[in-house]
Amino acid sequence: MSELHWMTAVEASRAFAAKTLSPVEYLSALLKRIDALDPKLHAFIRLDADAAMAAAKAAEAEIVAGRIRGPLHGVPVGVKDIIDVAGLPTTGHSKILVDNIAKTDAVVIQKLRQAGAIMIGKLSTHEFAIGGPSHDLPFPAARNPWNPDHHPGGSSSGSGSGVAAGLFPMALGTDTGGSVRNPASACGIVGLKPTYGLVSRRGVFPLSYTLDHVGPLTRTVADNALMLDTIAGYDPEDPGSAATQSCYFGRLLGRGVRDLRIGFVRHFHEKDMPAHPEVTAALEDVARVLQAEGAEVHSVTLPSLNEFSGINRVILGSEAWSIHAPWLRTRPGDYGKLARRRLMPGAFINAGDYVSSQRRRLQLIAAVEDVMRDYDVLMCASSMDPASNIHDDVETNRTYPRQARTPFNTTGHPAIAMMSGLASTGLPTSVQFVGRNFDEATVFRVAAAYERATNWASRKPPIG
Amino acid sequence: MIHSATKSGVTMDQQYLAALARSAGLEKALAEFPDDVAAAAAQALDTAGAVQFPTDPAVEPWPPMQAGIGL
């Protein structure tokens, strides 16, 4: 491969093991690209080049000595800036926490370090993973590498932008209402929201305790499975952690989709929230591709998007208010306008509505479980529109909530978003696959089959 | 001036809105960012007003209370 920055983690790892590439050489190529492109993309809040290079040298010495820790040894990872990395500020992209130095690594960072991965820096986010894209914060908003005049999705905006631009092969994001899958959709990469409780949230600044998930963003499905293998696992100190055994999530990647039953939730994008015609056409293409690969695809019906998003908003608003109330009372001017507006609604939601929403949530979970009994995987839209111009507030406000991701934060099911095509504007369109709880392996299986059958993963943004 | 109209057309009395904001401890936000407080209140009204809540008392909330779990 002539361009090192487009290597996947799997390719880099193989090259390290074969000693045809060193972690220092790889990181140096990425740092050069970051130097050239990040002034346009603003994926980073803080690049930690010196520490990353020291870690790359240490990884190189271990690999040369034959002590390979695993497939992420020597692989650089970007970290959304609501996740603690010891010694670095966790700012949440906010003036509120601009001097908040993390004392210890989040559990996901500990796991990545144990696997030999290299933390390359802290990445842009919407303020506290909710207020963005914004232009009144201490750091600039990240941009979309397919067109830097457009937003890259969010809230894991720097994670999506940087992975898509080849600044690093993988990144951590978080997903409370779709914040891993939105940047994956906007930037044409792969983003997974794992099953609730599969990945520890300890050391991650919370937005909504019962909706928050940590997940990987990568350019390929295989890399995504690899990262999940590393970060998944029971954490007795995370009250939401599930007592499951971590396993090899990529074990079905090569199996194809023959005889799998896929339920296509067409009403999300046809009736509940009519999608942009190019998004709709791309989704039908996805269904045709999977059928051609041997899957059975049938239309299925879930509760409406409005029901899911209403419940999600009451729960998220209430839980986020309980976290931010002390600062909103004393330092409202230290939030950006969007975060202030999006974090205060919980002050006006009563306790009864919150509890009633959690009760309705149980019914919604049951409704999805009922459908999933007959299907291996569901497919549906992710974003209803390609990413809008970041300075067009009217269009951004119109399109940002037009999505089908929040249902699966509400229910906890695993959901992956990936590229389904390119709109006539040159911006990516996307599809979402949803699995049974803790069956990420089958979600990856379908996503990998689609990836192999199309050439979207090989398309790169026209930047640099 | 606080504007409290919502998309669904439901309005919150402005004095009531201010009283709610004060009772939530948002005096400072109310003084410095009255439009943001009003927008947040309108969003809360719109959201909660649009949700269909269960009527069967037997429907429990998620996640359920589980003694000892996660402690």
Tell me the DSSP string of A298-337: EE---S-HHHHHHHHHHHHHHHHHHHHHHHHHH-GGGS-H
Look at residue B14 in the predicted model and tell me its pLDDT. Answer: 86
> A224: which 2 tokens?
């995504």
Provide the pLDDT for residue B70. 56
- Residue A16 CA to residue B59 CA, distance in Å, equals 55
Global confidence as pTM? 0.97
Q: Which residues of B touch A357 (CB under 8 A)?
A: 51, 53
Interface test with B, best of A337, A341, A353 (most B CBs within 10 A): A341
- Whether A428 and A185 have beta carbons less than 8 Å apart is answered as yes
- Chain A residues with CB under 8 Å of B54 CB are 356, 359-360, 363
Between A102 and B6, name the one with better pLDDT.
A102
pLDDT at B3: 45
Q: What interface predicted TM-score (ipTM) does this complex get?
A: 0.92
Q: What does the pLDDT read at residue B65?
A: 77
pLDDT given for residue B6 in this prediction: 57
Choose the closest CB to B44 out of A340, A349, A362.
Answer: A349
> DSSP states of A260-299 as a string?
-EEEE-HHIIIIISPPPHHHHHHHHHHHHHHHHTT-EEEE
- Mutation target vs A (from B43, B60, B65; most A CBs, 10 A cutoff): B43
Residues of chain A with pLDDT under 50: none
Neighbours of A428 (CB within 10 A): 28
- Take residue A58 and report the two structure tokens written for it: 């240490």
Q: Does B8 touch chain A (CB under 8 A)?
A: no
Asked if A186 and A93 touch (Cβ cutoff 8 Å), the reply is: no
A80 flagged as catalytic: yes
| Whole-number pLDDT of residue B64 | 79
Quote the CA–CA distance of A54 and A75 in Å, as a whole number. 13
The pLDDT value given to residue A431? 98
Answer for the pair A339, A127: CB distance below 8 angstroms, yes or no. yes
| B61/A329 touch (CB, cutoff 8 Å), yes or no | no
Superfamily of domain A4-458: Amidase signature (AS) domain (3.90.1300.10)
The pair of three-digit structure tokens given for residue A338, joined into one six-digit string:
């969007």
d(CA A196, CA A437): 8
Rounded to 5 degrees, what are φ and ψ at A388? -90, 170
Does A299 participate in catalysis according to the annotation?
no
B71/B66 Cα distance (integer angstroms): 10
Contact residues on chain A for B43, CB-CB shorter than 8 A: 313, 317, 341-342, 345
Which residues, other chains included, contact A366 with Cβ-Cβ below 8 Å and sequence gap of 6+?
none
CB contact under 8 A, B53 and A344: no
Buried b (16+ CB within 10 A) or exposed e, A290-328: beebebebeebebbebebbbbbbbbbbbbbbbebbbebb
Q: What angle do CA A175, A176, A177 make, to 5 degrees?
A: 100
Model pLDDT for residues B12-68, shown as the tens digit of each residue:
788 999 999 999 999 999 999 999 999 999 999 988 888 889 999 999 998 877 777
How far is Cα A191 from Cα A227, in angstroms, rounded to an integer? 11
pLDDT of residue B2: 47
Exposed / middle / buried, residue B66 (Cβ in 10 Å: 0-12, 13-18, 19+): exposed
- Location of structure tokens 């296509």: A264
> What is the Cα–Cα distance from A127 to A122, expressed in whole angstroms?
14
Q: What is the pLDDT of residue A247?
A: 80
Indicate which of A211, A348, A437 best probes the interface with B, i.e. most B CBs within 10 Å of its own CB.
Answer: A348
Lookup: tokens for A289: 């591709």
Told to judge if A134 belongs to the known catalytic residues of this protein, a careful annotator would answer no
Report CA-CA distances (Å) from A9 to A181, A182, A244, A280. Answer: 20, 22, 26, 32
What residues have CB less than 8 Å from A222, skipping those under 6 apart? Answer: A8, A10, A250, A253, A448
**Order of all β-strands in the sheet with A415-422:** A44-47, A118-123, A76-80, A170-175, A213-218, A190-193, A415-422, A428-435, A377-380, A261-264, A296-299
- The answer to whether A358 and B61 have CB atoms below 8 angstroms apart is yes
Only one residue has tokens 């057309």, namely B9
Planar angle of CA A248, A254, A256, nearest 5 degrees: 120
